[in-house]
């Protein structure tokens, strides 16, 4: 800007940079680095250890399970139901329309291979373990599992069909290592 004498006045809104400005900026940056060097290891300490993560995954050999049989294995302290379904069971579970289900989900979305069903065997109502793994067990009206605590019934795909259970039996993360072995606890890389 210039006044009437023609001389240039300094802009009153911009002030020259001083050492104080530099010191404030530098100390703020160092404070941020110090806070990050404290917070990041603290957050990392909340992650499970490598040995704990390794125990969270299990490999299951499916070769001894005959068609029509089911086994129960423990995974993360919960029963895991693994069923080798018959062609009739597969056909029956695929014919169900999603309109007939309390928690709509198709059979193909619950399995990686139609002959193998893998679900967490804990009722989604109050956490009881449903019966239906042994041939002599009550399998309910839909041929899957029956929860003796409050009467929830699941079909051969682990979908809730009747009772107070709000959702289907959960499908854990798993993948096939080969034709007869699965790894439960993580998705395929």
Q: CA-to-CA distance for 184 and 182, rounded, in angstroms?
A: 6
The candidate with the shortest Cα–Cα distance to 183, out of 71, 84, 173, is 173
Question: How many Cβ atoms from other residues are within 10 Å of residue 147's Cβ?
Answer: 27
Q: What are phi and psi of 146, to 5 degrees?
A: -130, 125
Look up residue 157 and give its DSSP letter: T
125 noted as active-site residue = no
Q: Which of 91, 108, 113, 150 is catalytic?
A: 150
How many H helices and E strands in the chain? Answer: 3, 9
Enter the tokens of residue 173: 């993360």
| Catalytic positions, written as ranges | 150
């Amino acid at each position: 800007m210039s006044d009437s004498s023609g001389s240039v006045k300094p802009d009153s809104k911009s002030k020259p940079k001083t050492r104080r400005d530099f010191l404030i900026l530098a100390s703020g940056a160092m404070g941020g680095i110090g806070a990050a060097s404290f917070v990041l290891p603290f957050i990392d300490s909340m992650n499970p250890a490598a040995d704990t993560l390794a125990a969270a995954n299990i490999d299951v050999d499916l070769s001894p399970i005959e068609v029509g049989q089911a086994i129960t294995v423990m995974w993360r302290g919960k029963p895991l139901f693994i069923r080798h379904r018959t062609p009739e069971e597969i056909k029956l579970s695929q014919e169900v329309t999603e309109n007939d289900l309390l928690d709509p989900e198709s059979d193909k979305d619950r399995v990686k291979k139609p002959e193998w069903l893998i679900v967490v065997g804990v009722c989604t109502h109050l956490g009881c373990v449903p019966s239906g793994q042994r041939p002599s067990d009550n399998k309910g009206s839909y041929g899957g599992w029956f929860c003796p605590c409050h009467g929830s019934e699941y079909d051969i795909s682990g979908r809730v069909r009747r009772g107070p259970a709000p959702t289907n039996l959960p499908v854990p993360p798993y993948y096939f290592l080969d034709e007869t072995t699965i790894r439960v606890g993580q998705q395929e890389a």
